[in-house]
């Protein structure tokens, strides 16, 4: 089974992808991770990507498609991929379909974690981590317990970009870019809406029910 998962920044897409990978033995294809790995490996394509990024430009859809094809064409990952963060636009969605057809595969399911802007604002602006152990907390949903000796008020730090203004900007950018892609999968009757407002466990259960029904 090949799955595409969507959700605005802060919707818990990464957490749910990890859950799906673990439960259903899928390979998580994250284009961001792939780009970083190529740069780290200093491969020929990695050096080109590094130049593009350092110049402040976006990596082209064609370059990303080449990296994606390397995974799709690998028999080891055949029909067991979850696409996380890809496709980001309609052009990529159509290119992905062409690649899958080339290797006699298809998208079986597209999941969309529906999450309101107000929830996203709290999840992002309330996010802190412990500078000592790295554990992540949220002052609205998951504050550190008073009994914890490591994660105290003095050790909690917040990223500069974890603020309300940036949360709103990310959300609106995501909606604008992704709606045509969601509509693309909706018309193919592959899109399933998931309640991203629920707890992690409840969202896990909702996703499991959808996948289990499709797998039959």
Is 127 catalytic? The answer is yes
Asked whether residue 182 is domain-assigned, the answer is yes
Domain span holding position 195? 3-117+173-215
Tokens 């909606």 locate to 175
Asked whether residue 160 is domain-assigned, the answer is no
Interval 106-118: pLDDT, tens: 999 999 999 999 9
Domains in the chain, number: 1
Is 80 catalytic? The answer is no
This prediction has a pTM of: 0.83
Is 123 catalytic? The answer is no
Pair of tokens at residue 74: 């690998």
Asked whether residue 156 is domain-assigned, the answer is no
How far is residue 49's CA from residue 57's CA, in Å, rounded to a whole number?
10
Asked whether residue 99 is domain-assigned, the answer is yes
Asked whether residue 208 is domain-assigned, the answer is yes
CATH number of the domain encompassing residue 40: 3.40.50.300
Pair of tokens at residue 18: 């990890």
Is 146 catalytic? The answer is no
Interval 55-101: pLDDT, tens: 878 788 889 999 999 999 999 999 999 999 899 899 999 999 999 99
Asked whether residue 127 is domain-assigned, the answer is no
Asked whether residue 137 is domain-assigned, the answer is no
Asked whether residue 16 is domain-assigned, the answer is yes
| Torsion over CA: 194, 196, 197, 199 (sign) | positive
Which of 36, 48, 80, 88 is catalytic? The answer is 88
């Amino acid at each position: 089974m090949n799955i595409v998962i969507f959700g605005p920044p802060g919707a818990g897409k990464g957490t749910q992808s990890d859950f799906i990978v673990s439960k259903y033995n899928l390979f998580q294809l994250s284009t961001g991770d792939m780009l970083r790995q190529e740069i780290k490996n200093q491969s020929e394509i990695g050096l080109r990507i590094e130049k593009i990024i350092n110049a402040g430009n976006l990596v082209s859809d064609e370059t990303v498609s080449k990296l994606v094809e390397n995974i799709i064409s690998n028999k080891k990952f055949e029909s067991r991929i979850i696409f996380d963060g890809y496709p980001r636009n309609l052009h990529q969605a159509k290119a992905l379909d062409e690649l899958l057809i080339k290797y006699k595969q298809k998208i079986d399911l597209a999941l969309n974690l529906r999450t309101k802007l107000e929830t996203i604002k709290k999840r992002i602006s309330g996010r802190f981590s412990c500078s000592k152990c790295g554990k992540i907390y949220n002052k609205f949903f998951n504050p550190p317990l008073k009994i914890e000796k490591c994660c105290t008020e003095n050790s909690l730090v917040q990223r500069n970009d974890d603020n309300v203004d940036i949360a709103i900007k990310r959300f609106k950018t995501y909606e604008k870019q992704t709606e045509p892609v969601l509509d693309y999968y909706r018309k193919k009757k592959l899109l399933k809406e998931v309640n991203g407002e629920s707890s992690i466990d409840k969202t896990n259960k909702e996703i499991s029910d959808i996948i289990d029904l499709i797998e039959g």
